[in-house]
Amino acid sequence: MTSVVNASLRTLARVRDLCLFRAGPQDLPYSPRGVVALLVAGAALEAFFDLHQGSGFAVVVAANLGTLVGLGLLHTMLRWRGKAERFVQTALALLATGLLFEILVLPLLLYVGHPVDPAAVTGAQLLAALLLFLLLLWQAGISSQILRRALEIPLAGGVLALFALGLADVCATVLLAAAFGAT
């Protein structure tokens, strides 16, 4: 039991280091179970938020399937670069940092509200929105760095890879939501 706790604490320390640009995906353990656990945790958080915001079940399913499409594209990118063996650690790094940021932004998103009436926005809501934007930029920087290291490409390539993954996720989510009849 102690070794499991120690391993978990080491992994959390590595995720912290990823967020501070001191580590790369190669510094995380090879843990397919960790990837699955993060996918489940992310799906639960996504479901909570989407359902709280009034989205239907179809949107929740589509959003989570969109994440899987993004991971499929990540695997394709790594294979294309001859680095398929890095998939688990790269997915773990992206999912762990993504979940961390989802947890950080969830209270801010709930505070800002949806949809926001521009005429009724308070200063505190504006500050929360600014903080959301800064957190989004930070997460984008971290994800770009993870992709840059995993794919062994320049930073601009990491940004383009992140854009491609995000676009694949959003397009798949929208198409799947439409296919499921979500409004």
Say which residue, 96 or 50, is predicted with more confidence. Answer: 96
Res 182: pLDDT = 60
Is the confidence at residue 122, as pLDDT, over 90?
Answer: no
Phi-psi region of 113 (alpha: psi -120 to 50; beta: other; left: phi over 0): left
Asked whether the predicted pLDDT for residue 80 surpasses 60, the reply is yes
Domain that includes residue 22, residue range:
2-179
Q: Are 45 and 106 contacting, i.e. CB atoms less than 8 angstroms apart?
A: yes
- Confidence at 123, pLDDT banded by 50, 70, 90: confident
pLDDT at 168 (0 to 100): 93
In this structure, the number of other CB atoms found within 10 A of the CB of residue 5 comes to: 9
For residue 95, pLDDT beyond 60: yes
Mean pLDDT computed over 64-89: 95
Instruction: Give mean pLDDT, residues 134-145.
Output: 97
What does the longest C-alpha to C-alpha distance in the chain come to?
Answer: 54
Task: Quote the number of domains for the chain.
Answer: 1
pLDDT at residue 55 greater than cutoff 80: no
What share of the chain in percent tops pLDDT 70? Answer: 95
